[in-house]
């Protein structure tokens, strides 16, 4: 596609439920990133996939958060047992990889935990 | 760890006024620098970037930024703003190498409001 796509665009869930957020990167981009944007914390890094390397998970806030990337393309971010503090916009970005590349962002998934 | 500071949280200008948004970062190694913009209801878009070379970089829509290495700064400028520049602006940094390679560190953002 022309850009990074994410689904769903909005998700409302009850506290304690699991949610899955999906990201489709730009075709040919080997690097994929997840960020979270919230009023209190601004934009914060969550996880980074580069090709077939082990992902950099150091930004995940708790073990309730996990992500996978299948076939080097689509990625899914899973949040188990959601809490109200998980409410935020979850952003996905992709890039060509390497140390000199810019990241292109998707529209985000707005998650609301009630 | 790297950090990025944006000095202005909310800037209000009239059309045709000049704009300068401050950004400072802390990191001892070589970095890439970016400004992203988020228009109302839209997603983050790249405004401009600095990797190397001429420290004065030009981006889209008449924006430019100057990298001053000695001051760890990457301020955004525009000589004459328009109502359509109303948006939130984010400064971001990432490392060229090391354990944090790739990940972007963002400032808290500056909301720019331009009155017609």
Contacts of B45 in chain A (CB under 8 A): 105
What confidence score (pLDDT) does residue A99 get?
79
Q: Is the pLDDT of residue B109 over 70?
A: yes
Tell me, what's the pLDDT at A41? Answer: 78
Contact status, residue B76 vs residue B18, Cβ threshold 8 Å: no
Per-residue pLDDT tens digits for A8-30 = 999 999 999 999 999 999 999 99
Query: With an 8 Å Cβ cutoff, are A100 and B107 in contact?
Result: no
CB-based contact A42 B96, cutoff 8 Å: no
> Measured between CB atoms, which of A42, A103, A107 is closest to B109?
A42
Average pLDDT over residues A34-49: 92
Mean pLDDT of chain A: 94
Mutation target for A interface from B103, B109, B111: give the one with most A CBs within 10 A. B103
According to the 3-state scheme, what is the secondary structure of chain A? Answer: CCCCEEECCEEEECCCCCEEEEEECCCCCCEEEEEEEECCCEEEEEEEEECCCCCECCCCCCCCEEEEECCCCCEEEEECCCCHHHCEEEEEEEECCCCCCCCEECCCEEEEEC
pLDDT tens column, B39-73: 999 999 999 999 999 999 999 999 999 999 999 99
């Amino acid at each position: 596609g022309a850009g990074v796509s994410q689904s769903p665009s909005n998700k409302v869930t009850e506290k304690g439920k699991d949610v899955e957020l999906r990201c489709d990167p730009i075709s040919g981009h080997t690097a994929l990133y997840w960020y979270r944007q919230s009023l209190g914390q601004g934009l914060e890094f969550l996880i980074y996939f580069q090709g077939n390397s082990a992902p950099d998970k150091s930004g995940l806030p708790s073990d309730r958060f996990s992500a996978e990337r299948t076939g080097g393309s689509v990625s899914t971010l899973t949040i188990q047992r959601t809490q109200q503090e998980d409410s935020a916009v979850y952003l996905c970005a992709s890039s060509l990889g390497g140390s000199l590349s810019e990241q292109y962002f998707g529209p985000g998934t707005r998650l609301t935990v009630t | 760890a790297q950090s990025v500071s944006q000095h202005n949280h909310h800037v209000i200008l009239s059309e045709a006024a000049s704009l300068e948004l401050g950004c400072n970062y802390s990191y001892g190694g070589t970095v890439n620098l970016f400004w992203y913009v988020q228009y109302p209801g839209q997603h983050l878009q790249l405004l401009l970037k600095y990797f190397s070379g001429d420290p004065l970089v030009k981006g889209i829509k008449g924006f430019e930024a100057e990298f001053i290495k000695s001051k760890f700064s990457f301020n955004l400028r525009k000589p004459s703003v328009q109502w359509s520049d109303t948006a939130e602006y984010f400064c971001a940094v990432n490392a060229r190498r090391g354990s944090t390679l790739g990940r972007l560190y963002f400032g808290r953002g500056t909301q720019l409001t331009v009155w017609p």
